[in-house]
């Protein structure tokens, strides 16, 4: 378990999180839901160690985190392949890649169907292609705790499915993922465990059966929903 206990955080002298408790099971796909500004990115950054809380206790079980921000600017002048390779140079302070490392990059690019774009300058990739390229870096990293901030934001439906199918497989490699997401149906389809933050920063959490509950979703989004469950496949609709 990743555990956050009694956590308080101030932003500009205003209490943002007030003694919150939240935990995430390891080796699962965890999804954080909430309205814009609810604090999803803040929570990810706290787990990544990038935002230091004012009080509280965070236990990450010594997992090695990799945080993928919501928005990254392309690096001008670098091709997709060079950009991805640079992560190895950076993390290991080296100038050359081994054959094995090169093959690993190629196989991830093939899996994400980016191989044909490998020599294209990063600034010329579409937003979704560049996002996939950054997810490839997460998959190549040696981290076992992937913190992905809206990884599917710029992707079409097919690419969202491909990327989430890949992320799902990471559980078999003992990798824990915590993902922020706005699409509740995508969340219900792929997630194992859910954390919701409402606008008053109350935390709701649970597995699919507990969390996909009309009352909980209404508290988080402040609008009514209708949830149907067909053989374990949850479908969430806005209810008027
Ligand atoms: P979105 O869905 O829009 O990405 P979010 O749930 O990820 O939103 P956060 O990025 O965590 O929300 O931000 C929550 C709130 O905290 C926002 O109102 C934001 O402006 C504010 N905030 C974030 N970082 C800081 C900071 N360093 N100092 C002050 N306020 C901040």
**pLDDT (0 to 100) of residue 167:** 87
For ligand 1, the distance from its centroid to the CA atom of residue 111, given in whole angstroms, is 33
Cross-strand pairs, 204: 196
Q: What is the DSSP letter of 121?
A: B
pLDDT per position as a tens digit, 132-142? 888 888 888 87
Atom of ligand 1 nearest to the CA of 197: 6
Decide whether any atom of ligand 1 lies within 6 Å of the 11 Cβ.
Answer: yes
Atom of ligand 1 nearest to the CA of 11: 29
Confidence grade of residue 94 (pLDDT, cut at 50, 70, 90): low
Residue 126 has pLDDT above 90, yes or no: no
**pLDDT (0 to 100) of residue 89:** 63
Atom of ligand 1 nearest to the CA of 43: 11
User: Exposure string (b/e) for 145-180, b if CB count within 10 Å is 16 or more?
Assistant: bbbbbbbbbbbeeebbebbbebbeebeeeebbbbbb
User: Which one has a higher pLDDT value, 26 or 170?
Assistant: 26
Question: What stretches of 98-171 adopt beta strand conformation (E)?
Answer: 145-149
Least confident of 60-69, 84-93, 116-125, 223-232: 84-93
Atom of ligand 1 nearest to the CA of 16: 16
CA angle, residues 78, 81, 83, in degrees to nearest 5? 45
For ligand 1, the distance from its centroid to the CA atom of residue 2, given in whole angstroms, is 22
Decide whether any atom of ligand 1 lies within 6 Å of the 10 Cβ.
Answer: no
**pLDDT (0 to 100) of residue 91:** 65
- Is 173 in a helix, a strand, or coil? helix
Residue carrying the six token digits 């965070």: 58
pTM: 0.91
pLDDT per position as a tens digit, 179-218? 999 999 999 999 999 999 999 999 999 999 999 999 999 9
Decide whether any atom of ligand 1 lies within 6 Å of the 62 Cβ.
Answer: no
- Candidates 41, 67, 150: which one to mutate for ligand 1, based on the most atoms within 8 Å of Cβ? 41
**pLDDT (0 to 100) of residue 190:** 95
């Amino acid at each position: 378990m990743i555990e956050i206990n009694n956590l308080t955080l101030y932003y500009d002298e205003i209490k943002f999180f007030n003694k919150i408790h939240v935990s995430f099971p390891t080796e699962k796909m965890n999804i954080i839901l909430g309205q814009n500004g609810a604090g999803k990115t803040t929570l990810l950054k706290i787990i990544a160690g990038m935002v230091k809380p004012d009080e509280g206790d965070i236990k990450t079980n010594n997992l090695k985190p990799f945080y993928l921000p919501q928005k990254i600017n392309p690096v001008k002048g670098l091709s997709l392949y060079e950009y991805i390779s640079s992560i190895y140079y950076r993390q290991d302070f080296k100038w050359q890649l081994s054959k094995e490392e090169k093959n690993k990059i190629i196989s991830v690019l093939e899996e994400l169907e980016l191989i044909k774009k490998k020599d294209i300058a990063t600034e010329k990739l579409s937003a979704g292609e560049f996002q996939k390229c950054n997810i490839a870096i997460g998959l190549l990293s040696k981290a076992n705790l992937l913190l992905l901030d809206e990884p599917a934001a710029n992707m079409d439906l097919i690419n969202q499915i491909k990327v989430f199918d890949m992320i799902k497989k990471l559980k078999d490699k003992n990798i824990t993922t915590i993902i922020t997401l706005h699409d509740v149906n995508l969340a219900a389809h792929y997630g194992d465990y859910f954390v919701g933050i409402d606008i008053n920063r109350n935390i709701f959490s649970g597995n699919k059966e507990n969390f996909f509950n009309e009352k909980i979703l209404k508290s988080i989004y402040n609008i009514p929903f209708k949830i149907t469950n067909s053989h374990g496949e949850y479908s969430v609709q806005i209810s008027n």
